[in-house]
Amino acid sequence: MPIAIISHPDCALHDMGEGHPEQPARLAAIHDRLIASGLEMIVRQIDAPVVTREQLARVHDADYIDRVFAEAPTDGLLMLDPDTAMTPNTLPAALRAAGAVVHAVDLVIGGQFQAVFCAVRPPGHHAERNRAMGFCIFNNIAVGAAHAIHAHGLERVAIIDFDVHHGNGTEHIFQDEPRVLFCSSFQHPFYPFTGHETDTPHIVNITLPAGSDGARFRQEAETHWLHRLHEFKPQLVMISAGFDAHAEDDMSHVRLREADYVWITRELKKVADQYGSGRMVSALEGGYNLSALGRSAVAHIDALLGH
């Protein structure tokens, strides 16, 4: 069964200024590599819809949603935290980014596609229930997971986050929700300096010291993630796909390569095939070296295809 890529031109218009690592060129880097690989002819490309307020409110506080809409600027730059800014183009992009993941969930549960990759920005995994941070406005993957539970009645959704930064927002949102198994790997100590002391049965965090390579990541994932995923038997596997742990990415000091992203994607596909009819939804998080991002994301998409 073919896979889909969901994106939208609005996601490329969000621009926090020259020199900001979370830049519009990130999406172009993935698209260009997709063309060069030949995969553009295989995958189906779909425009992201706008997320609804009801869908956002499953994971974000009402007053936070109101504040984001009320404060969205009509010109200039509004800083939400030291790293995260809103421009006139940010809110439309954020609504499409979250809407993409919701639509992806509908498509895989409805059987139209086995897997969907959401090439969207701003990213989402740092956004907590009531605050934006770390380049993130709304928590895209969390909105999609909550939609799977509340709109489709799923009882077991797994989210695997291999971004180099802890998915603190996703953990914050689902810390009291055992229907979600959250697995996150991240460099430690490192921004946002959370997750290393978590002791919750349905949250499985892997801390990676600076300099960790693919062998260390694979060993930790096999030891801590894979057996827990098989115990959980997820009906849907979702991925916060951050590629900033790549050796060429200056954002971190972890040394992963494309082959490591292919390996973890294939392992997660085995879990999805065994327990969830192969259903997988992946959403872009970090990845700031444009060449490494393009290569890694397309290798991940190729693995989602089963290659």
Cα angle: 38, vertex 39, 43; to 5 degrees:
145
Average pLDDT over residues 272-277: 98
Res 2: pLDDT: 81
Query: Among 126, 147, 172, 300, which one carries the catalytic annotation?
Result: 126
State the pLDDT confidence band at 279, using cuts at 50, 70 and 90. Answer: very high
Is 196 an active-site residue? no
DSSP string, 251-298: T-S-BB-HHHHHHHHHHHHHHHHHHSTT-EEEEE----SHHHHHHHHH
Domains along the chain?
4-304 (3.40.800.20)
Helices (H), the chain: 25-37, 53-57, 62-71, 90-109, 140-150, 168-174, 214-220, 227-232, 258-275, 290-304
Size of the chain, expressed as the number of residues it contains: 307
pLDDT value, residue 276: 98
Average pLDDT of the chain to the nearest whole number: 97
Tens-digit pLDDT profile for residues 58-87: 999 999 999 999 999 999 999 999 999 999
Q: What is the pLDDT of residues 15-40, one digit of tens each?
A: 999 999 999 999 999 999 999 999 99
Give SS3 for 215: helix
C-alpha of 29 from chain center: 17
| Inter-CA distances, 74 with 70, 71, 150, 237, Å | 11, 9, 34, 38
